[in-house]
Amino acid sequence: MAMRGYEPFSVLNELSRELGRFYEGQEAGDGSSLATAEWVPAVDIREEQDHYVIEADLPGVRPEDIEVQMERGELTVRGERAGPSREQASNYRRVERAAGAFYRRFSLPDTADPEGIKARTSNGVLRVDIPKKTETQPRRITVEG
């Protein structure tokens, strides 16, 4: 059996990370509405050369229970994850996994092309690909000599 060192601040560090995730959307001004959601999925956003990618952890959420909508420059991801029924709940000793409705909203830059947005799920991760408008992509110009 491997020995593990005692880390007295591990619980406080975890609490700090969770509180940081909770307030992150409000401070960033991305319009995420945390107050109306029963849980908030973790999200990664990255920019590639020709598109943006949003990935959200949604384990246990069926694709038909996810709604992705684009309106007035804002991308909304909402849905619901089912929890144990009332009959099942009486058998549980501990319930830590969040269930219920979730809701995230992201302001997209002017360079995003709303017509080409695609969303798909794989292994509990929602991936939303948002292409950039072609006129905003850099074009290399050859210099003649």
**Token pair of 60, please?**
């246990």
Is the pTM higher than 0.85? The answer reads: no
- Give 108-128 pLDDT, tens digit per residue: 998 899 999 999 999 999 999
**Which residue bears the tokens 């006129």?**
135
Pick the CATH number of 31-136 from 2.40.50.100, 2.40.280.10, 2.60.40.790, 3.30.1230.10: 2.60.40.790
C-beta atoms surrounding 30 within 10 Å: 15
Q: What is the pLDDT of residue 96?
A: 81
Give the residue ranges of the chain where pLDDT is below 50. 27-35
Question: Any residues with CB less than 8 A from the CB of 61 and at least 6 apart, and which?
Answer: 79, 80, 81, 121, 124, 126
